[in-house]
Amino acid sequence: MACQQDSAPAGTLIDDPESLSDLRLFRSVSPHTMALYLEECSIRTVSPNELLLSPDRPNLHFFVVLDGMLQIHLDSVDQQALTTLSKGDCVGEMSILESKNPSAFVMAVEETKLLMIPHDTLWAMINVSHAIARNLLVILSQRVRSDNRIIADSVVIMRQYERKSVTDALTGLYNRHWMEDMFRRELRRCRIGDKQVCLIMVDVDGFKTYNNDYGHLVGDHALCCVADSLRDHFRPTDLIARFGGDEFCIMLPNTSFENALMVAERVRKGVAESNAKDTEVEGTPVTISLGVAEADPADSLESLIERADSALYRSKLRGRNRVSR
């Protein structure tokens, strides 16, 4: 909806100097100094939900809120408001200073009375009054500070979403989406540097039965305990991810096959010992089986995972709670 066209002269503001000084733009400014310029301005009232400024049309006025409330919407009036403006606040200054269309939508929340200052009149006020220039500079600096805070908050939110997109919600480990990207990069890096790299596949023994017998909440707790144990027993340089279900996958850069087997055995014992108290239900402890594979020069991530998974399957066939190659 377009802004209403009915308006009233603004010169009457001179009759109420105290009201004029309450406006941020006119602080410490003599009302009589502004008398001539205010005659060139007008007072306009916009209705609730009425659109004052829009990126699709030019703006030739600087607006000062005399009464009521405006909201600024960044991409659409249907989206959540970026900020709210009330008495004394200003809007439209950036489009005038930059000689560009407004960068956002400005809409009235309630019936709002505005002082409309034409483009040329604003510049004339700035030229004649250092106080006007100073007040406008303060308004602009506060606007920039507010925008920077919004940007900083948005970056934090974006990083939170990015973190959630690569993190398994239950265990807090990285998820398979992250694994397929980062493991592939690490495999390539080790190959270029002619470094050994090994992969360990981990599976929780009898988890389906454990989950069915004791319930999903108990099963989820067991998975979290296993994930915590994996964090405790691998190096910070090792890459750990939840592969899916009750399976986990760990890549060990710069690690020989024999060392990887020793690490896997140490992890197997550590999980059994650390989880005995936390996850044992009715005499049923939680243990893990592991399969270890060393990357060949021709290996892709998929072929390396397939060989580690085959080793894991051999651990299952041999009775579980063991490490196989």
Angstrom distance (rounded) from CA 10 to CA 4: 16
pLDDT at 36: 83
What's at 7, amino acid-wise?
Answer: S
Tokens of 104: 């956002």
Whether the CB-CB separation of 79 and 105 falls below 8 Å is answered with no
Q: In this structure, what DSSP letter does residue 100 have?
A: S
CA dihedral of residues 114, 119, 120, 122 (deg, nearest 10)? 50
pLDDT tens per residue, range 93-112: 877 777 888 888 999 999 99
Q: Is 97 helix (H, G, I), strand (E, B) or coil?
A: helix
Residue 9's CB is within 10 A of a number of other CB atoms, namely: 12
pLDDT at 37: 87
Contacts of 283 (CB under 8 A, 6+ apart): none
3-state helix, strand, coil in the chain (%, to 5): 50, 20, 30
Angstrom distance (rounded) from CA 216 to CA 210: 9
Angstrom distance (rounded) from CA 309 to CA 287: 17
pLDDT at 160: 65
Angstrom distance (rounded) from CA 137 to CA 284: 71
pLDDT tens per residue, range 13-68: 656 656 777 788 888 888 777 888 888 899 999 999 999 999 998 998 999 999 99
| Triad 311, 240, 318: Cα angle to 5° | 20
CATH architecture of 7-160: Sandwich (2.60)
CA dihedral of residues 180, 186, 188, 194 (deg, nearest 10)? -150
Angstrom distance (rounded) from CA 290 to CA 309: 9
Angstrom distance (rounded) from CA 128 to CA 42: 20
Q: Is 275 helix (H, G, I), strand (E, B) or coil?
A: helix
Query: Among candidates 100, 96, 19, 33, which has minimal Cα distance to 65?
Result: 19
pLDDT at 152: 62
Secondary structure E strands in 70-175: 70-73, 83-85, 90-91, 105-108, 112-118
Tokens of 274: 């650390």
Q: Is 48 helix (H, G, I), strand (E, B) or coil?
A: coil
pLDDT at 276: 52
User: What string of pLDDT tens digits covers the 325 residues of the chain?
Assistant: 444 445 666 666 656 656 777 788 888 888 777 888 888 899 999 999 999 999 998 998 999 999 999 998 888 888 888 888 999 888 888 777 778 888 889 999 999 999 999 989 999 988 888 888 888 888 877 777 666 565 566 556 566 666 668 899 999 999 999 999 999 999 999 988 899 999 999 999 999 988 888 888 989 999 998 999 999 999 989 999 999 999 999 999 999 999 999 999 999 998 888 755 555 555 678 899 999 999 999 999 999 999 999 999 999 999 999 999 9
Tokens 């916009």: give the residue.
46
Sequence spans of domains, the chain: 7-160, 176-324
pLDDT at 154: 56
Q: Is 58 helix (H, G, I), strand (E, B) or coil?
A: coil
pLDDT at 1: 45
* Domain 176-324 in CATH 3.30.70.270: yes
Distances (CA, A) of 122 to 98, 113, 117, 125: 14, 19, 6, 5
